[in-house]
Chain A
């Protein structure tokens, strides 16, 4: 059974790390979580991204955040990748498997998965 003692142990472990991590990630992954995104399947996409980034040891490199409607509802679920000094990459019609591939190839490997981008889908 999960206990508050276990949560306390997490706190002890994390309290020093958190300060270090603030602002160190230079890639920001943003998932559209308005009604359109949620209905199209954004929740598993978001959760897969969070898991893949953290389990893959990439949390110092990238953060995953949620946003509202991006304005392209017909292309939801949408994932945007912002990286310092680079052009924004917009991935469209995402699902959990595509999200895993984006983390592996783009975030980890530095190579954009062009077939999932909005340019490829138009």
Chain B
């Protein structure tokens, strides 16, 4: 992937497919690291599946037998001397607190580290594609702290769908302004 933000878009799609009603995406830039955490309350994975998720020959898709999402993120993180961890609680064993947490650490000064890229576009794309589920996005750097919670937006909208173009445009500007201030 050309940007880490594209990995975020890709991995968050797994959360959506796992039936998550809330997906929390946090990007923490501190010293020379970027820590990406994608946490969802979806169905989670059994230990058996969890062991195989970073293997490209495991996938949930039915169109072909190769799944590159998590293996790609792992490779990209490890190329910077960083790491990828995946923790998961499957619904069968944890009926009340199931879900998955993907954590990737990148060393941003490493020559092989791809730029974070357009995270605003990733968030608007996720919301446009999945207007009925909630996303919490937090991006902290040494100079800014950007936050977006679709639950707050949904409350204001009182039934107007989140994928309404005017709403998507508002969200985009709302995020962009937080980066400037």
Q: Answer yes or no: do A and B interact.
A: yes
> Are B177 and A2 interface neighbours, CB within 8 A?
yes
B61 to A43, Cβ gap below 8 A? Answer: no
Q: Which residues of A contact B61 (CB under 8 A)?
A: 34, 68-69
Binds A, one of B87-95, B133-141, B160-168: B160-168
Contact with B along A45-81 (1 / 0, CB 8 A): 0110010001000010000111011110100000000
Q: Would you call A11 an interface residue if the criterion is a C-beta within 8 Å of the partner chain's C-beta atoms?
A: yes
B157 partner, pick from A1, A6, A7, A54, beta carbons under 8 A: A7
**Does A47 lie within 8 Å of B121, measured CB to CB?**
yes
Interface 0/1 of A17-48, CB less than 8 Å to B: 01000000000000001111011000110110
Task: Give 28 A-B contacts (CB < 8 Å), ordered by A residue.
Answer: A2-B174, A6-B170, A7-B167, A7-B170, A8-B156, A11-B158, A14-B160, A14-B167, A15-B158, A15-B159, A15-B160, A18-B160, A35-B67, A35-B68, A38-B1, A39-B1, A39-B2, A39-B6, A39-B72, A47-B124, A50-B165, A50-B168, A54-B165, A68-B13, A68-B63, A69-B64, A70-B63, A71-B64
- Residues in chain A near residue B160, CB distance under 8 A: 10-11, 14-15, 18
CB atoms of A2 and B129 under 8 A apart: no
Inside 8 A of A2's CB, which chain B residues have their CB? 170, 173-174, 177
- In the bound complex, residues from chain B placing their C-beta under 8 Å from that of A66 are 125, 128-129
Residues of A within 8 Å of B157, CB to CB, are 7, 10-11
Could you list which residues of chain B lie within 8 angstroms of chain A, going by C-beta atoms? 1-2, 6, 9-10, 13, 17, 61, 63-64, 67-69, 72, 118, 121-122, 124-125, 128-129, 152-153, 156-161, 164-168, 170, 173-174, 177, 181
| Known contacts A4-B156, A7-B153; A43/B129 CB under 8 A | no
A86 interfacial contact with B, CB 8 Å: no
Q: How far is the CA of A43 from the CA of B181 in the complex (A)?
A: 26
Residues of B within 8 A of A15 (CB): 158-160
Contacts between chains A and B (CB distance < 8 A), count: 93
In the bound complex, how far is the Cα of B152 from the Cα of A25, in angstroms? 29
- CB-based nearest B residue for A55: B165
Question: Which residue of B121, B153, B159, B173 contacts A43 across the interface (Cβ within 8 Å)?
Answer: B121
Are A11 and B156 within 8 A (Cβ)? yes
Interface centre among A35, A38, A43, A44 (most CB of B within 10 A): A35
